[in-house]
């Protein structure tokens, strides 16, 4: 009987960290299924969509995303390690992010995190989106109804704040 228990412990599920950058539509079901686990009673999900907005009289019709993909994967690995340091019970982490054109109303990012209990996965998902915006090299350009464009700075990025201060001081 003891041997069977030891074998079960040895066959413990390995943690999964998945980052997918793609020009394809995001499948929320795929993201949720990627973090499913019989040892987890909670899956927390965040879906970020392109919102309709008006800036200086121009209507936003969509966003264009670009990424430095190799660096994004490296930073994502660091983010997952950070999440597990803060919330050790987190089992699986999955983030899918669109690249290219994303029109108003469409999802640009979908993420899910599983853990045995909801508290850890909920806190981890909040941390994940904040750190993703701050550290993962994914950039967005707003496209307006008059076809003008504007690259956006994420307020979470430490270098954008420093850059703003530096530009103001000149």
What residues form the annotated binding site for substrate?
117-118, 133, 140-142
Strands 92-98, 16-22: pairing kind: parallel
End-to-end CA, the chain: 74
Q: At what angle do helices 118-135 and 69-86 cross, to 10 degrees?
A: 150
Residues 137, 151: Cα–Cα separation, whole Å: 13
Residue positions in the annotated binding site?
Answer: 117-118, 133, 140-142
Q: Is 61 exposed, middle or buried (0-12, 13-18, 19+ CB in 10 A)?
A: middle
Residues 32, 93: Cα–Cα separation, whole Å: 10
Please give the backbone phi and psi of residue 90, each rounded to the nearest 5 degrees, phi first.
-60, 130
């Amino acid at each position: 009987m003891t041997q069977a228990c030891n074998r079960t412990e040895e066959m413990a599920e390995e943690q999964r960290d998945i980052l997918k950058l793609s020009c394809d539509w995001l499948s929320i079901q795929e993201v949720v299924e990627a973090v499913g686990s019989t040892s987890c009673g909670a899956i927390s999900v965040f879906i970020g969509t392109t919102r309709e907005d008006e800036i200086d009289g121009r209507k936003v019709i969509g966003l264009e995303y670009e990424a430095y993909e190799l660096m994004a994967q490296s930073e994502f690995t660091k983010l997952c390690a950070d999440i597990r340091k803060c919330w050790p019970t987190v089992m699986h982490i999955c983030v899918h992010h669109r690249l290219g054109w994303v029109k108003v109303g469409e999802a640009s990012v979908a993420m899910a995190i599983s853990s045995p209990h909801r508290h850890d996965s909920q806190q981890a998902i909040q941390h994940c989106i904040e750190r993703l915006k701050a550290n993962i090299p994914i950039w967005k350009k707003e496209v307006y109804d008059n076809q003008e464009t504007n690259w956006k700075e994420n307020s979470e990025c430490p270098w954008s704040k420093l850059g703003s201060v530096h530009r103001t001081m000149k």
